[in-house]
Amino acid sequence: MFAHDPYAQLHELKPVGTFTVTSTDFADGETLPKRFWGAGAGGEDVSPELSWSGFPPETKSFAVTCYDPDAPTASGWWHWAVANLPARVTSLETGAGASGYELPNRAVTILNEGRNRQYNGPTPPAGTGVHRYFFVVHALDVEALDLPEDGTPALLGFLLHFHTLARGIIVGLASGD
């Protein structure tokens, strides 16, 4: 059913370790509760709780992303991207993706596909089937990535390629049918 796994392809280019990501709001491989969907799909654009453990001890910071590779585009769709979370941060509470949410220290929310700095929940277009939403936590070898103010998730992804020690993934589903 799903042909494209972007993180498997990245792992082939540069193998990295793995660690555990969980959520009290949804289970891996299950449909995301409606609250976490986009407002245009009857949701509230609330980001789910995420927690992680088992990452490498040499981790200096984290980045968190939410990506839909099943969007009807050649490049997928970035719903959320946070960079420069200190290594002491091992969870984000429900709603941490809200505009104006105060992240710790140098952490920043990157512009998403909607060109805003917040979590935008799934809004799969009608007729496009089931979409996968990869919530990924990247353990990094640097305390902060050098991102411009108008940096994009694709630029973040490029930098992550060179600085990721390990990544943890949890996938939520939503259907446009």
Rounded CA separation 157/9 (Å)? 13
Backbone angles phi, psi at 5, to 5 degrees: -120, 100
pLDDT value at position 4? 77
Per-residue pLDDT band for 147 (boundaries 50, 70, 90) equals very high
**pTM surpassing 0.75?**
yes
Query: What integer best gives the mean pLDDT of the chain?
Result: 95
Q: Is the pLDDT of residue 152 over 70?
A: yes
Per-residue pLDDT band for 2 (boundaries 50, 70, 90) equals low
Q: Is the pLDDT of residue 95 over 60?
A: yes
Q: Are strands 164-175 and 17-18 parallel, antiparallel or unpaired?
A: parallel
Question: Would you state the structure tokens that stand for residue 126, as one six-digit string?
Answer: 């009608």
Cα 79 to Cα 56, 67, 117, 145, 176, distances in angstroms: 26, 6, 10, 20, 16
pLDDT in tens, 38-58: 999 999 999 999 999 999 999
The topology (CATH level 3) of 6-175 is Phosphatidylethanolamine-binding Protein (3.90.280)
Section 131-138 average pLDDT: 97
pLDDT value at position 38? 96
Rounded CA separation 114/122 (Å)? 12
Amino acid at 105: N
pLDDT in tens, 74-84: 999 999 999 99
Bigger pLDDT: 2 vs 37:
37
Q: Is the pLDDT of residue 109 over 70?
A: yes
How much helix, strand and coil, in percent to the nearest 5, is found in the chain? 15, 30, 55
